[in-house]
Homo-oligomer: A and B are copies of this chain.
Amino acid sequence: MFDFALTAQDPQTQARAGAFETPHGKLLTPVFAPVGTQATVKTLTPRDLAEAGATLVLSNTYHLYLRPGTRLVADFGGLHSFMGWPGPMLTDSGGFQVFSLAQMRKLDADGVTFRSHIDGSLHRFTPESTVAAQEDLGADVIMCLDECAEPLDRAYNEAALVRTHTWAGRCQAAQRRRDQALFGIVQGGIFPDLRIESARTLRAMDFLGYAIGGLSVGETKEQMYSTLDVTVPELPAAKPRYLMGVGAPEDIVEGVARGIDIFDCVLPTRVARNGGLLTRAGRLNLRNARYAADPLPVEVGCDCYTCQHFSRAYLRHLFKAEEILGLHLATVHNVRFMLRLMADIRAHIAGGTFAAFRERFLRDYRLPDQEVRHAQLERRRQRQAEGKSEKGAA
């Protein structure tokens, strides 16, 4: 039911192309999943997603557990029919959101107790309960409950890794449905020995696929890439590999080069709603006055509905006038941008030209926000140095 067949291997990098069978259809990999947190990819209909070329859609168990409730979704035949998306889906365990969104959390060996960010109500996740919730939701690929530790904090990562591995075993034991592929999640921060230990431990547990978690949450890009360099070779070549929450275009190209098959990220949809439009030349900020009378489409040559019908000037007008249609049209473009990028990547892997594509892409794709990002990381490191990273003991 979950056959994964490699169809091409790039001769110069670890990049590979494949086909991953799921109960709701075949995924050509490398694949990018737009994020539909609350059972909707924000501003897009399922038809918009299909037209953009989406094949895999992610949704978040934490949000759906709180609202409308995973039992209600189950009563509607699961997420696919509830939200009208007929293709493959993936849900996370909810653990990451408990750590990043919930108002309060109290961790113990058995699970985590937290307060809803919506109404402050008290809830508890255990490995077993998050598998049950994901069985209610019915996605094709589901995730083990894990603990996503501060990536640069060694002691925290060591402690968290024990829980993550124990919980992975409990998730396997709890799984009842066999039409869902349960993936294990490799953790270990930026520490090569911890990552290797985690990959080997989970590999021995024989999951249908392996995720790499805890990246793109505070480390530098170099640390992310070097962590992939040591982790991916420890994963079985014949199983799909999923880099969780990573989706900046440059990170996808680098992740593919290191052997990743599956990506997801809110970046394209979130930056769209802020007026940030993705192009092969970098990110374009629609709110900028320079586009006020610009007759060009967002990206010349793009085949999305937005670029086929509207000027940058019109889109800028919609953003300035705070019109919802602007958020929609920007999202349509950014999702299509990502899925065209993935199609290009797959074609270049199949053609043996991925290394040249990677070089050209990274040369052309400007990162205007890189300074901003580095400043943010620097501040985060300073906070950590000041001893504010005691989440592991919470």
CB–CB A47/B305 < 8 A? yes
CB–CB A42/B323 < 8 A? yes
Query: CB within 8 Å of B: which of A60-97?
Result: 63, 67-68, 72, 75-76, 82-84
Q: Work out how many copies of this chain go into the complex.
A: 2
Q: A67-B317, A328-B43 are in contact. Are A295 and B84 (CB under 8 A)?
A: no
Chain A interface size band reads 35 or more
CB–CB A325/B42 < 8 A? yes
Task: Tell me, rounded to whole Å, the shortest Cβ–Cβ distance linking A119 to chain B.
Answer: 12
Say yes or no for A309: interface residue by CB 8 A criterion. Answer: yes
CB–CB B43/A83 < 8 A? no
Smallest CB gap from A306: residue in B: B45
Task: Tell me, rounded to whole Å, the shortest Cβ–Cβ distance linking A270 to chain B.
Answer: 13
B residues in contact with A318, CB < 8 Å:
38, 40
Say yes or no for A44: interface residue by CB 8 A criterion. Answer: yes
Smallest CB gap from A67: residue in B: B321
Instruction: From the candidates B38, B47, B324, name the one contacting A321 in the complex (CB within 8 A).
Output: B38
Smallest CB gap from A318: residue in B: B40
Instruction: From the candidates B83, B320, B324, B329, name the one contacting A324 in the complex (CB within 8 A).
Output: B324
Say yes or no for A293: interface residue by CB 8 A criterion. Answer: yes
CB–CB B324/A76 < 8 A? no
Q: A38-B323, A321-B38, A328-B328 are in contact. Are A313 and B44 (CB under 8 A)?
A: no
CB–CB A67/B320 < 8 A? yes
Interface residues of A (CB under 8 A from B): 38-40, 42-47, 63, 67-68, 72, 75-76, 82-84, 292-293, 295, 305, 309-311, 313-314, 316-318, 320-321, 323-325, 327-329
Q: List 13 A-B contacts (CB under 8 A).
A: A39-B317, A67-B317, A67-B320, A68-B316, A68-B317, A68-B321, A72-B313, A76-B295, A76-B314, A82-B313, A83-B314, A84-B309, A84-B314
Contacts A42-B324, A44-B325, A75-B293 known; list 20 others, CB within 8 Å.
A38-B318, A38-B321, A38-B323, A40-B323, A40-B325, A42-B323, A42-B325, A45-B305, A45-B325, A45-B328, A45-B329, A68-B313, A72-B292, A72-B293, A76-B295, A76-B313, A84-B314, A324-B327, A324-B328, A328-B328
